[in-house]
Amino acid sequence: METFLLISLGAVLGANLRYWVGGWVAERLGAQFPFGTLMINLTGSLVLGFFLTLATQRFLIDPRLRVFFTIGFLGSYTTFSTYTYESVVLMTTGHWVMGSLNLLGSALLGGVAAGLGVWLGRLV
């Protein structure tokens, strides 16, 4: 039951941050391209790579905190299903280049962000 509650609490916080970041980015960059989702995916990848590197290679972090943060918070914060849906919508409405850029950009840049997070985690 404790694990369930930790995941749930993290998910509430992650979902609310996702909502706030998505809106904040859309206000600044517009909503024609899903920049908010891209930003969320990149920051989520960066933070996950950084945190898990610290948690598994550098410090002894309580497994409950890992569950709360990785499964609950970041699992709710990151938006893989949203980004794929938005990409498909862009492509099916004639915006093939933008849809493809979103798919490739999130995947490739997300990989770079996760790698950067791992690198930063190893520096600490």
Per-residue pLDDT of the chain (124 residues; tens, 9 = 90+): 999 999 999 999 999 999 999 999 999 999 999 999 999 999 999 999 999 999 988 898 999 999 999 999 999 999 887 888 899 999 999 999 999 999 999 899 999 999 999 999 999 8
- Record the tokens describing residue 58, joined without a space: 């550098």
Asked if residue 78 belongs to a known ligand binding site, the reply is yes
In whole angstroms, what is the distance from residue 107 CA to residue 124 CA?
A: 26
Domain definitions of the chain by residue range: 2-123
Q: Is 22 annotated as a binding residue?
A: no
